[in-house]
Chain A
Amino acid sequence: AQTVTQSQPEMSVQEAETVTLSCTYDTSESDYYLFWYKQPPSRQMILVIRQEAYKQQNATENRFSVNFQKAAKSFSLKISDSQLGDAAMYFCAYRGGGSNYKLTFGKGTLLTVNP
């Protein structure tokens, strides 16, 4: 079974600085997808960024980028120029390829942004 591990229960960053959130996963599949979701205090789950395993290029969405290391099964999220609105719980998630619809989530990292 696939597992997703987020080893940092909590992280903090100063406003305007950069922070990296870690995620590792375990799978025997070669085709899969990885996601980062953000859950602010409102509890809504918001997609931040996604990565297809077959793509070597790291995904980027504005201030958010990932460092995808397929061999190491690592998928870290980098937030640049951190803003107060980035404060939230961040979840890493894995979905297998093909007709496998299931998302497996990590336990999350609580990010605090200090002014």
Chain B
Amino acid sequence: SQTIHQWPATLVQPVGSPLSLECTVEGTSNPNLYWYRQAAGRGLQLLFYSVGIGQISSEVPQNLSASRPQDRQFILSSKKLLLSDSGFYLCAWSVSPGNQPQHFGDGTRLSIL
């Protein structure tokens, strides 16, 4: 069966520090991968998605970036975090195309001090 792992679960970082959140998927090949952010009391906002190695589409311009160095690995990064980057970050995967849903990781709660 397919599983998705996301870490760390919780992260506290100072303003201006770098960020690296990692997500890996097991049990499937060539998945579509996604990074979402959920601000407090709000729905999910799609940040990035990837349909293959090295292929990244950005949905919201900001100081975050994403990379996909391997088929089942998706990394969310920042060189300098802002206070507004605080939130709950969720990684998800799906098979493509079709009516298949996205399956989510457990999320990372990021607090910027």
Decide if A43 touches B59 in the complex (CB within 8 Å): no
Q: Is B46 an interface residue (CB 8 A)?
A: yes
Q: With both chains docked as a complex, state the minimum distance between the C-beta of B11 and any C-beta of chain A, in angstroms.
A: 14
Q: Is A45 an interface residue (CB 8 A)?
A: yes
Decide if A107 touches B42 in the complex (CB within 8 Å): yes
Q: 7 A–B contact pairs at CB < 8 A?
A: A43-B109, A50-B101, A101-B96, A102-B46, A102-B49, A105-B44, A108-B42
> Which chain A residue lies CB-closest to B88?
A43
Q: Is A98 an interface residue (CB 8 A)?
A: yes
What class of interface size applies to chain B in its complex with A?
20 to 34
On chain A, the residues within 8 Å of B90 by CB distance are: 45
What class of interface size applies to chain A in its complex with B?
20 to 34
Against A, the Cβ 8 Å flags (1 = close, 0 = not) of B17-52 are 000000000000000101000000011111001010
> Which chain A residue lies CB-closest to B92?
A45
Q: With both chains docked as a complex, state the minimum distance between the C-beta of B68 and any C-beta of chain A, in angstroms.
A: 14
Q: Which of A70-103 contact B (CB under 8 A)?
A: 91, 98-99, 101-103
Against B, the Cβ 8 Å flags (1 = close, 0 = not) of A35-70 are 101000011111100101000000000000000000
